[in-house]
Amino acid sequence: MGLTDNQKQLIKAVSENNLIAAKKFAIACVYEDNTQKNRCFCNKFKQILEGSGSNMIELPYELKSILCVEDVSNSFKENRYYLSEREKAILYNIICMKKVNERLMEMGIQYINSTLLYGESGTGKTTFGRYVAYKSGLPFCYLNFSNLIDSHLGATSKNISKAFSYAILHPCVFMLDEIDCISLRRSNSNDSGGPGGEIARVTISIMQEFDKLPNNIIVIGATNRMDRIDEALLRRFSLKHEVKPLNRNEKEEFIKKFLKDVDMNFSYKELTTLVENDQNQSMIMNELIHMISKKIYDEIGSDFNE
Ligand SMILES: Nc1ncnc2c1ncn2[C@@H]1O[C@H](COP(=O)(O)OP(=O)(O)O)[C@@H](O)[C@H]1O
Ligand SMILES: [Mg+2]
């Protein structure tokens, strides 16, 4: 018996290192096999492949403390994500470039699909990176520079190089978060021996790694401190996009979308303060969770004996 279409697609996905597609076709394979002899095997792997714990992608040992790779196809909650018109336009651009990248490569044109998101903390930059991975069907490969520096500055260049080598081989959305932690302008750090010198070396090594990236990878950088980023590194980002705090109407839509998905209702008055205060999404989300918890507590509180 020859290979089925799903088996062929599985082999293709593995050969392209596309783990999300591989998983999808592996699931299709275990569902299409109805033979008695494979029943136990298929049931076992249906559970494992579809289980909620299988969103994190297993990494080689030496990368575990550096990178985090997630299959967001099940874990990202699109119904709770509010997409403003500004971010919609950027998403469109990123997805278009993903679609044309193969043709560009054939034409010998090197284009890195790289976008730098900048703006205040709590405005949704990291969440947008996960959303891009969800919409483009690629794994979300997350590198946080603040963690990288905190743990061991001396080994940073080596670790960056390991992370990029992984991303180069696995088509993904590669998020370089809090990139300002490393990329202090090199002119601000002119001594070559102290931590400033190390930071300058690390900045150079990121740029060298950047230049090796193939067209089929989507890079999303994020920073709260655009002013601290080295000019030469800035030039590596094809798009620079400011993620602005939501305006009043957008906040209202953002809150409504979340409440609809969790099936909760609050009066207009209860929500007005949330919308009118000068709060970003992160703060609003915290307040909403408080309000929801209080409501649940009020409903079930009388059942407690204490
Ligand atoms: N557009 C959005 N839709 C839904 N929730 C959002 C959105 N933007 C931000 N959030 C919420 O706010 C929190 C903080 O966002 P985050 O992406 O960490 O901000 P930043 O990276 O800019 O500091 C997230 O955990 C998420 O719950
Ligand atoms: Mg962030």
CB under 8 A, 24+ apart: contacts of 93-96:
93/239, 94/132, 94/136, 94/218, 94/239, 95/135, 95/136
Pocket test for ligand 1, best of 181, 282, 287, 292 (most atoms within 8 A of CB): 282
- Residue whose CA lies nearest to ligand 1 atom number 25: 282
Strands (E), 188-296: 218-223, 239-242
Ligand 1 site, residue 253, Cβ cutoff 6 A? no
- Check whether residue 233 and residue 265 sit in a common domain: no
Per cent of the chain over pLDDT 70 is: 90
Average pLDDT over residues 164-178: 91
- Asked whether residue 184 carries a pLDDT value surpassing 70, the answer given is no
- Check whether residue 128 and residue 14 sit in a common domain: no
**Cβ < 5 A residues, ion ligand 2:** 126
- Asked whether residue 51 carries a pLDDT value surpassing 80, the answer given is no
Give every CB contact of residue 28 below 8 A, 6+ residues apart in sequence.
6, 9, 10
Average pLDDT over residues 72-76: 88
- Residue 264 Cα to ligand 1 middle (Å): 20
CA–CA separation, 216 and 107 (whole Å): 14
Per cent of the chain over pLDDT 90 is: 47
- Check whether residue 27 and residue 146 sit in a common domain: no
pLDDT given for residue 147 in this prediction: 80
- Asked whether residue 191 carries a pLDDT value surpassing 60, the answer given is no
Atom of ligand 1 nearest to the CA of 280: 12
- Check whether residue 146 and residue 253 sit in a common domain: no
Predicted structure pTM score: 0.82
Q: Is residue 115 part of a domain?
A: yes
Ligand 1 site, residue 126, Cβ cutoff 6 A? yes
Indicate the residue type of 229.
Answer: I
**b/e burial code for range 208-220 (CB count within 10 A of at least 16 → b):** ebbeebebbbbbb
Average pLDDT over residues 154-182: 88
Range ranked top by mean pLDDT from 108-117, 124-133, 139-148: 124-133
pLDDT given for residue 76 in this prediction: 93
- Check whether residue 106 and residue 206 sit in a common domain: yes
Ligand 1 site, residue 285, Cβ cutoff 6 A? yes
Boundary (domain end) residue, out of 195, 223, 242: 242
CA–CA separation, 20 and 25 (whole Å): 9
- Check whether residue 67 and residue 195 sit in a common domain: yes
Pocket test for ligand 1, best of 140, 285, 287 (most atoms within 8 A of CB): 285
Lookup: tokens for 81: 């994500």
pLDDT given for residue 128 in this prediction: 98
pLDDT given for residue 285 in this prediction: 93
Phi, psi of 137 (to 5 degrees): 70, 25
Lookup: tokens for 232: 């030469």
- Asked whether residue 196 carries a pLDDT value surpassing 70, the answer given is no
- Asked whether residue 305 carries a pLDDT value surpassing 70, the answer given is no
- Check whether residue 222 and residue 297 sit in a common domain: no
- Asked whether residue 52 carries a pLDDT value surpassing 60, the answer given is no
- Asked whether residue 113 carries a pLDDT value surpassing 60, the answer given is yes
Q: pLDDT tens across 77-98, in order? A: 999 999 999 999 999 999 999 9
- Check whether residue 139 and residue 212 sit in a common domain: yes
Q: What residue numbers bound the domain in which 183 lies?
A: 61-242
pLDDT given for residue 73 in this prediction: 86
- Asked whether residue 229 carries a pLDDT value surpassing 80, the answer given is yes
Average pLDDT over residues 145-159: 76
- Asked whether residue 203 carries a pLDDT value surpassing 80, the answer given is yes
Average pLDDT over residues 34-51: 88
Q: pLDDT tens across 16-29, in order? A: 777 778 888 999 99
- Asked whether residue 168 carries a pLDDT value surpassing 60, the answer given is yes
Pocket test for ligand 1, best of 117, 127, 144 (most atoms within 8 A of CB): 127
- When divided into structural domains, the chain yields a total of 3
Ligand 1 site, residue 254, Cβ cutoff 6 A? yes
pLDDT given for residue 262 in this prediction: 92
From 35, 45, 33, 43, select the one nearest 3 (Cα to Cα).
Answer: 33
| Closest ligand to the CA of 117 | 1
Q: Is residue 170 part of a domain?
A: yes
- Check whether residue 200 and residue 154 sit in a common domain: yes
Boundary (domain end) residue, out of 217, 242, 267: 242
Average pLDDT over residues 243-268: 92
